[in-house]
Amino acid sequence: MNLPNKLTVLRVLLVPVFVLVMTLGLPFPASNIAAAAVFFVTALTDMLDGKIARKYDLVTDFGKLMDPVADKFMVFSAMIVMTASESFSYMRTVMLWATLIVIFRELGVTSLRMVVSGKASATTLAANMLGKIKTVSQVTFIMIALLEPVILGDLLGHAFTYVSLAFMVVMTVWSGINYVVGYSKYLTFK
């Protein structure tokens, strides 16, 4: 259990903490600030575990399996709890659709990776730049959605939240299509 793996486990353990903070009924803005702090630490572990694992050659099978799973737990739970939260009722329908797009994309790409894993090299299956931008856009959207109401209130009609949501959806779909196209040469249909 090296440091990158411990950070991955910490990320998984912080997911229910985030959900608890969001559902405790803390008064605004304490709820958003506390949730943003927990989510920031969770996202920071995502960035650090990969960098440390690659830099110090600490890549393990556990890390290769759990790192993407922990990422999905982190983003899925944040988006689901935000969709259900009264604090985000002003954008519930948009959040629902964005959450479904993110979940479908992640499950689709993960399924594709499983199918082609025996046919493609580890380098082919590794996250590419669009996938990394997609992850950063998801984390950025969640942080903006949590903190914009604290910093700006409704001054701009949650403009930064909506713009970051739109960018996140575009990157999620684009990177998903990119993976499908890239993996298509490994798929057989008969």
DSSP assigned state of 117: T
Question: What's the confidence (pLDDT) of residue 125?
Answer: 60
Higher pLDDT, 95 or 64: 95
Contact, 101 vs 177, CB < 8 A?
A: no
Six-digit token string for 107: 């499950």
pLDDT at 64: 87
Domain of 112, CATH number, reads 1.20.120.1760
The 10s digit of each residue's pLDDT in 163-182 is 999 999 999 999 999 999 98
Condensed to tens digits (0 to 9), the pLDDT of residues 54-73 reads 999 999 999 988 998 999 99
| pLDDT over 70 at 28, yes or no | yes
- Name the DSSP class of 182: H
Alpha helices in 24-158 (DSSP H): 30-55, 61-84, 92-116, 122-125, 129-152
Q: Average per-residue pLDDT in the chain?
A: 92
Structure token pair of residue 49: 């575990």
Question: Cα–Cα distance between 9 and 135 in angstroms, integer?
Answer: 18
Place of tokens 């493609």: 120
Count of residues making up the chain = 190
Residue ranges making up the domain that contains 140: 3-186
d(CA 87, CA 21): 13
What phi-psi label fits residue 157: left (phi over 0), alpha (psi between -120 and 50 degrees) or beta?
Answer: left
Judged on CB neighbours under 10 Å (0-12, 13-18, 19+), 27 is: exposed
pLDDT of amino acid 36: 98
pLDDT for 120 beyond 90: no
Q: Is the pLDDT of residue 4 over 80?
A: yes
Measured CA to CA, the distance from residue 125 to residue 7 in angstroms comes to: 22
Band (123; pLDDT cuts 50, 70, 90): low
pLDDT band (50, 70, 90) for residue 122: low
CB neighbourhood size of 30 (10 A): 12
Give the tens place of pLDDT for each residue, 124-156: 566 689 999 999 999 999 999 999 999 999 889
Joined tokens for residue 155: 């001054």
pLDDT of the residue at 167: 98
Whole-angstrom Cα distance, residue 36 to residue 170? 23
For the chain, how many structural domains are there in total?
A: 1
